[in-house]
Structure 1
Amino acid sequence: MLKTFGANLRHFRNEKGLSQRDLYALCNIDNAEISRMENGEVNVTLNTLAQLAEALDIPAYMLLKQ
């Protein structure tokens, strides 16, 4: 599940033309933490999931979809 989430996060971030630093600026999550999320190394909270989805302007479930 973490790998799927990470791949989806990277996909939607790239689709929006955002760098990890850009995403950090939008949701105030450290870009090193974003990197760990994208690599499937960290479990995120629901609040973090919601923040990322809002910053990417997508429904939260899209980050979890396989």
Structure 2
Amino acid sequence: MNDNDEINTLRRFGAQVRSIRLLRGISQEELAHRCMLDRSYVGGVERGERNLGLLNILAICTALEIKPSELFEGWRDVE
């Protein structure tokens, strides 16, 4: 995976988090509070600026009340 692929992957993941958050009617600040993360960190995730660790992914999923697999729905298989 090259740098552009990594950046696009992080942006896509962040867009998925943002989309689900907005569908749930949750602000970034509320999501951050539920995850026990800083709001600026959540903003960085949504902009594709953060490469999250597993525990933070799980915290976001718990806060959004989704399964981790829902963050990757519609993604094609990695080649």
TM-score normalised by L of structure 1 = 0.93
Q: Where does structure 1 lack aligned partners over 5 or more consecutive residues?
A: none
Counterpart AA for 1:16? R
**Structure 2 match to 1:39:** 47
Q: CA RMSD in A?
A: 0.9
How far residue 17 of structure 1 moved from its aligned partner, in angstroms, is 0.3
Q: Where does structure 2 lack aligned partners over 5 or more consecutive residues?
A: 1-8
**Structure 2 match to 1:6:** 14
**Structure 2 match to 1:55:** 63
Q: Which has the higher contact order (CA 8 A, sep 6+)?
A: 1
Q: Say which of 32, 35, 40 aligns to 1:24.
A: 32
Runs (4 or more) in structure 1 with deviation over 6 Å come to none
For residues 14 and 54 of structure 2, the distance between their equivalents in structure 1, rounded to whole angstroms, comes to 15
For residues 70 and 62 of structure 2, the distance between their equivalents in structure 1, rounded to whole angstroms, comes to 11
Counterpart AA for 1:13? R
Larger radius of gyration: 2
How far residue 63 of structure 1 moved from its aligned partner, in angstroms, is 1.5
Aligned partner of residue 21 in structure 2, secondary structure: helix
Cα deviation digits, residues 16-56 of structure 1 (max 9, x gap): 10000010111111110000000001100011000000100
